[in-house]
Amino acid sequence: MNFIAIIPARYASTRFPGKPLALLGGRPVIEHVWRRVAAVVPHTVVATDDERIAAAVRAFGGEVVMTRPDHKSGTDRCWEAYIKCGTGEDVVINVQGDEPFIDASQLRGIMACFDNAKTDIATLVKPFDASRPYAELENPNTAKVVVDSAWKARYFSRSVIPFVRNLPREQWPQCHQYYIHLGMYAYRAGVLEAITRLPQSSLELAESLEQLRWLENGYTIAVATTTVATIGIDTPEDLEAAQTFLQQHS
């Protein structure tokens, strides 16, 4: 299998404008992401609609492709980028541009999902640590996923699923292993093209989770697991936490 990794990166952000260019340990966040991914996937490309980000990527020696500014999702931006700079790779890996601590094992885990010829799409989950506060699991900004015995995703939700009957909610993680969805995907190239043409589905609109559109249309989403701790950067406060994390793990 041949892989290409595409990192969608936008300058505009409601909570943290310009975060791909925010400095972390003296380097832009997007550089940290690109270097970690490129160490595993040699053909790694940043896809952006902003010349400031493009200039920064060129400055550190990364590959960048300019994409339209009106894409509704990173998935759509990935497909445009693949059309422009892909070289016939079998699988496209979509890596969030705000994950500067992405680990090689996470990328390899997703890549391994395509050893199964029936895998259309792959994604990454992390087991929820039952010792953590229940409020972290209940947070609607954190998507949860139900997986089957073959490690295929059955449903994604902002709600805590499954519902555990006859127990207080705070005790649910002690009697069931919940999984947190991490926003990394990989798609067979033909599947990526097909899903960008699908209209939004009812479940997607209800939960505001685009992966539900793919499930509703019958695509198989394989799941890789990770226990590696990372920090996604959505806010300036996250950047401060990332600075601390970098200093502790340098």
* pLDDT of 25 higher than 90: yes
- pLDDT mean over 203-227: 97
Query: Is residue 101's pLDDT more than 80?
Result: yes
**Looking at residue 12, what is its pLDDT?**
82
Please name which of 104, 90, 98, 28 lies closest in space to residue 60, comparing C-alpha atoms: 28
Residue 167's SS3 state is coil
pLDDT tens digits, one per residue of 152-202: 999 999 999 999 999 999 999 999 999 999 989 999 999 999 999 999 999
**pLDDT tens figures, 104-152:** 999 999 999 999 999 999 999 999 999 999 999 999 989 999 999 999 9
The stretch 212-231 carries a mean pLDDT of 95
Whether the CB-CB separation of 29 and 98 falls below 8 Å is answered with yes
**Annotated domain spans of the chain:** 1-98, 103-182+189-229
Which CATH number among 3.90.550.10, 3.30.460.10, 3.20.20.20, 3.40.50.300 corresponds to the domain 103-182+189-229?
3.90.550.10
Across 79-108, average pLDDT? 96
What pLDDT is recorded for position 208? Answer: 94
Rg of the chain on CA atoms, in Å = 18
**232: pLDDT confidence band, cut at 50, 70 and 90?**
confident
In terms of Cβ atoms closer than 10 Å to its own Cβ (0-12, 13-18, 19+), residue 138 is: middle
**What is the predicted pLDDT for the residue at 229?**
79
Residues 24, 239: contact at Cβ < 8 Å? yes
Instruction: Show the tokens assigned to 210.
Output: 């685009």
The CATH code that applies to domain 1-98 is 3.90.550.10
pLDDT reported for residue 133: 96
Cα separation, 224 vs 44, whole angstroms: 21
- Write the CA distances from 27 to 43, 123, 198, integer angstroms: 21, 28, 38
Q: Which one is predicted more confidently, 247 or 35?
A: 35
pLDDT of residue 72: 83
Phi and psi dihedrals of 233, rounded to 5? -110, 105
Note the pLDDT of residue 231: 85
Q: What is the model's pLDDT at position 74? A: 86
CA pair distance 76, 70, nearest whole angstrom: 10
Q: Is-above-0.75 flag for pTM?
A: yes
Where does the pLDDT of residue 26 fall: very low under 50, low under 70, confident under 90, or very high at 90 and above?
Answer: very high
Domains 1-98 and 103-182+189-229 share a fold: yes
Q: What is the pLDDT of residue 71?
A: 87
Task: Determine the average pLDDT of the residues in 5-9.
Answer: 96
For residue 66, pLDDT beyond 80? yes
Q: Is residue 227 classed exposed, middle or buried when 0-12, 13-18 and 19+ CB atoms within 10 A define those classes?
A: exposed
